[in-house]
Amino acid sequence: MGNGRKIDDLVRIRHGSTLCSRSIPASRTGLAGTTTVGNHATVTGQVGVAGHRKIGNRVVTTR
């Protein structure tokens, strides 16, 4: 877990996943095993990320 990150309620973070600095997973989000969320990235509500994936820096995912 990086510095300055914020985690909303109802977020599921599985084994081996990494949240870099200032990343924000919103409510009802799921990160499968060994997922990496980059710096300043936002995972919006109701988004699921499959395992072994990387979300880059400054990316905003949407449903």
- Catalogue the active-site residues: 15
Contact yes or no for 26/20 (Cβ under 8 A): no
CA angle 55-61-63, nearest 5°? 135
The pair of three-digit structure tokens given for residue 2, joined into one six-digit string: 């990086």
